[in-house]
Amino acid sequence: MNTAMLIGLLAGSMTTAAWLPQVAKAFRTRSTQDFSWGWFAMFGFGVAFWLVYGFAVSALAVILPNALTLLLVLSLFALKVRHVRML
């Protein structure tokens, strides 16, 4: 593993880990009203396209963080859908 790969994995880990407190807070408070549907669509598709790109160029430093970020975004999305149904 070269230095560029390590830097990419570190950068991806940090930006993905930055979502963990927000996801934890949303599940703890059961509040997702600050997330707009438009944000979910734009950010979710952006992350999905980065994931596709990572597979296209076989870049593990792009694939891993974006796969994890997509899971976090989808979990927030599911929580928001659940909250809307409960209202």
**pLDDT tens-digit series, residues 3-25:** 999 999 999 999 999 988 988 99
Half-sphere exposure of 74 (CA within 13 A, CB side): 9
Number of domains the chain contains: 1
Which element (helix H / strand E) includes 9? Answer: helix 3-17
Neighbours of 87 (CB within 10 A): 5
- pTM to 2 decimal places: 0.83
pLDDT for the residue numbered 31: 87
Computed over every residue of the chain, the mean pLDDT equals 91
CATH code: domain of residue 28: 1.20.1280.290
**pLDDT tens-digit series, residues 32-42:** 888 899 998 99
Share of the chain above pLDDT 90, in %: 64
